[in-house]
Structure 1
Amino acid sequence: MAKNKFVSDYQINTSKKVIYPYLSTASGLSQWFADDVIINEDKAYNFIYDGEDHFARPTIMRINHHVKFEFFDPSDEEGGDDDPSYIEFRLDENELTQTFYLRVIDYGDTYDQQEQQDIWEGLISSLKEIIGG
């Protein structure tokens, strides 16, 4: 199946220190991103939504700046998807306006662009409600 790269920026009215735990911890992610998030003994994250497990490894964790999770199939003994799906969160600040933005990069199986936009707007809306931003 072809993969699509979705990139969108969302203005967030809070500090990086407040939002970062919601992007990087199991408890934070389970509040807005997935039905539940569990970290196993291998430090792999299990994102559970719609009753399905989605396993990912954190490949970038820059405190208060950048988080990236690469998805993998735990039953694949070879460990080898040469082009893994991933989700990435970047926190950027507009120096001129002092405004914070959350950049979402979602690389994975192709969805309709409008459908993906709607999904992320709903997720970000939930996140903003939780953090008050």
Structure 2
Amino acid sequence: MKELARSLRRNQTDAEQVMWGRLRNRQMLGCKFRRQQVIGSYIADFLCMEPKIIIELDGSQHWEQQEYDEQRSRYLQSVGYRVLRFWNNEVLQETEAVLEAIRLAVIDLSPHPSPLPEGEGVGPTF
């Protein structure tokens, strides 16, 4: 499986190249994304461990394998990931809209800062 993931990293689709160019080096709200990561018996296109998001880019071959993709998404969700799916043409033609959807998911799943201890940061105490 690891060798297949390496091969997929070396042979990215155009959509994967565009997406990786925008996700790598913590460009998305400081989150570290990895590409072609093995999870169980599947390989996720893009994975961010914190928050637990997987981004899948689907080409035309996915029309014929929708049941497989649904099973795969259920498994990934069962191990704690939120799966976002985009068509390759969306990534290539509507890149900013796709990135905004990812940004909103990252914000939604990111842990919120803990509240200040009582009495701190609330102004003067009399």
TM-score clears 0.5: no
Larger RCO: 1 or 2 (CA < 8 Å, sep 6+): 1
Between Structure 1 and Structure 2, which shows a larger proportion of strand residues? 1
Between Structure 1 and Structure 2, which shows a larger proportion of helix residues? 2
Q: TM-score, normalised by structure 2?
A: 0.31
